[in-house]
Structure formats: structure tokens, C-alpha cells
Amino acid sequence: MKLKLRRHIEEIMPLSDDEFDLIASYFNPQQISKGKFIFRMGDKVPYTYFVVSGLLKLIYGDQSGKEHILSFAMEDWWETDYYAFYQKGWATMSLKCLEDTQVLHISLEDYHSLCASFPRIEHFFLQKATSGHIASQQRILSLLGSSAEERYAILLQRYPSLMQRVSKSQLAAYLGVSRETLSRLHS
């Protein structure tokens, strides 16, 4: 499991075996079954998660009970409720497994300790945070300024494998359209 983390980090920066052994010592493996929550709205969020295998969805439930999918996280992605994780607060979202999933997780304290012990890793985390921030801004702009057809085309272009892994209702919730609208777009 940790070898996937090494390959992931080495896409940005090379590592010696000793450096990787130090980094890996801060991460713990966890397996979660399909349909289970890693955390729910209102829980504490002690970890950020690197997806080794499987698929997660980050969801926000509004006052009316409607589920809004903020993101899907598949292999080589990082996911958590970042506000709750960094502020040591309560989750405002829930993270659920859509498939049997293997993750490596790290606590905030271990994250800070790792960065203090191995300052070069901060560059890696900065690159990942920047990429995630850019993707979030693009998603927000897409939701604000693109038609349903355009959002669907963007999804197909960026994440073609997601189409086979996620139900039409979940894709519709992610795109902010009804299932019927998605069916029209898909045909």
C-alpha cells in the first residue's frame, strides 16, 4: 500500500529509500467497506486520507435532506473535510466509500511533525494543495457559469473512468442536475 504513496510523491520529487521510510512511518493504513462512512457530518475529523484503491464521495447534506456531492476521490487522490481537519472542528460534510477502499491516513500532528522532520515534503503537500484548490475553483466556476451540457462534457473529459464507477443519480448530484436531465445528456 505504501509503495503507491511513494510513486505518488515521486511524481513531484525524488526520494531515497531512507527518506521514504521516514515519510511512510507517519501514515497508517485503513480498509473501509463499500457503503461505510469514514466520517459523518458532526464528527471530529482526525485525519486526511490518501486513496490507495477504491472510490470515495464527499457529501454535504442540506437542511432539506438533499445530498450534494462536492467531490469524488479515487486512486491517488487526497480527501478530507479540510476545515474540520485543520481547525480541529466538527465535520460539515461526510465522507463515504462507494467501493471497498484502502487509504493511508495521517493526523494533523503527524503531518506537522513530518514536515518538521523532513522539510522537503512541504513542497509536495503545497503542490497537492495548490492542485486541489485550482480544481475546486474550476468546479465552482463550472457550476456558476456552465450549462448542464458543458458540465457533463467537462466531467467526461477530465474523469472518463468515473462514468463506469458511479451511478447516474450520483453523477447527477455531482453535476447539480436531475437524474432525468443527466439521462438526456448521456444519450
In a domain, 112, yes or no: yes
In a domain, 174, yes or no: no
Match 510513486 to its residue by C-alpha cell: 7
In a domain, 111, yes or no: yes
Q: Kindly report which listed range (35-49, 53-67, 119-133, 163-177) carries the lowest average pLDDT score.
A: 163-177
- pTM for the model stands at 0.92
- Give the pLDDT band (50/70/90) at residue 153: confident
Q: Which pLDDT score is estimated for 172?
A: 85
**CATH number (domain holding residue 63):** 2.60.120.10
In this predicted structure, the answer to whether residue 185 has a pLDDT above a threshold of 80 is no
In a domain, 66, yes or no: yes
- Give the pLDDT band (50/70/90) at residue 151: confident
In a domain, 178, yes or no: no
3-state SS class at 50 = strand
Half-sphere exposure of 138 (CA within 13 A, CB side): 12
d(CA 166, CA 103): 19
In a domain, 182, yes or no: no
Task: Report the percent of the chain where pLDDT is more than 90.
Answer: 67
Q: And the C-alpha cell for 5?
A: 504513496
- For 94, the domain range is 2-145
**Total structural domains in the chain?**
1
Q: Which pLDDT score is estimated for 187?
A: 62
Measure CA 100 to chain center. Answer: 15
pLDDT in tens, 135-145: 889 888 888 88
In a domain, 105, yes or no: yes
Q: Kindly report which listed range (48-57, 107-116, 163-172) carries the lowest average pLDDT score.
A: 163-172
Q: And the C-alpha cell for 168?
A: 447516474
